Structure 1
Amino acid sequence: MQSIGWPIISIAPARLSMERMIGVLAAVVLHAVLVAALTQRDRATPATITPPAPLMVGIVTAAKQAVPKPPQAAQPVPAKPKAAPAKPKPQPKRTSEPAKREAVIAASGAGSSSSFSAQPADPPVQETVPAAQATRAESAPISPPHLNANYLDNPAPAYPPQSRSEGEQGKVLLRVLVNAHGVAEQVDIRRSSGYIRLDEAARIAVRQWKFVPAQQNGQPLSAWVLVPISFSLEG
């Protein structure tokens, strides 16, 4: 009697696959449980916030600067005494030709009228200019200069009509340079009358005057002369 044989089915590979799947599922479940636990812990425990430490600010004062002392003035060194200069030897006197000079003198003498009068100026003040170089010549010694400048027959200044109507009057002192020919080369206002019209009228008139030139040793020369002119409405 023959026995009927059943087919033998191998289940080893199938069992191995099932175990592997179970292991994978277990790992997934375990991972999910761990994630849930960590999430729950994070929600339960609040985060700790550490406040920042206060900022400390220090004030540093600047060091006081030392005030520099003023420099001491150097003491002056006493100057050495200078030797006295040697006295010049006396030289013989030399004769020379008359040198040209200019001097300030006061004029005097003039006609007067109801509108004009000339009065003597202050005492003369001599003012000489550098003399020309003297040449050697045999002549008589130079006598002191005699300055003389007198008025001739010169017309009086015209009284400005506006000054007359406004009652302007006063005294003008003119400084006139009279050359060797008796001509007034320059007329300056030494002291004003206080009114420009009177000053200008006096200056224009004296500019046309003729003078007797000053003389030195008999020779005419240029000289300054002070000419006072008074403008008066009285008389």
Structure 2
Amino acid sequence: MTAVSLPPLDRSEVKATLGERLINGLVVLALHLLLLYAALYVSVKNELVELPTSISVRLLPMLEERKPDLPARPLPPPPKAVPQVHKPVQAAPVLAVETPMAAPATFVVAPQPPAPPAPPAIAPPAPVAVVAARFDADYLHNPKPAYPAISRRNGEEGKVLLKVRVSPQGAALEVAVSRSSGFSRLDTAALDAVTRWRFVPARRGDEAVESSVIVPVTFALE
């Protein structure tokens, strides 16, 4: 026999052939599994029983036990109607009262004396005017306030208003500064002098009364 020499196989071709076989085997296996799954699905589907979608339930009323028929009792006869007798209503007797006629008046009203004249209206007494107290009467001889020497040197001038409460006897009970001159030395000099003054008291009619009066004191440099 003549020996035939085969060319050597390439490794890349051997690897390609093995790969194709492996792929073909997997494809065949997948087809078998798919056919088996289809056969099982069809057999199981035929055995399934469809259930009703809804169930309707209705309660039947219980049958009452029938009682044995009893013989009917005779009904009592209706009561007899009693005829009503209407008695006539008698009107109450009316008493007639005779009113005697008024007798004519036999008396005479005597004439009354004339009313006394009304007393004359008494007018209230007119209020008595009050004459204010005075401090400028010549007979009082009230000394003038002393001008402070320091105020003269400093040229201090001003007018002090003093409020004096005068007693019914004409004495100065209380002296206070109502408006200052602006200089305390001038205010003090006016207070010292007016406190020793005598006054003509205020009078209400013929009565001397207590009152208040404003005394102005002016300090001016000539």
The TM-score normalised by the length of structure 2 is 0.41
Q: Which has the higher helix share?
A: 2
User: Relative contact order: is structure 1 or structure 2 higher (C-alpha 8 Å, sep ≥ 6)?
Assistant: 1
Q: Which has the larger radius of gyration?
A: 2
The TM-score normalised by the length of structure 1 is 0.39
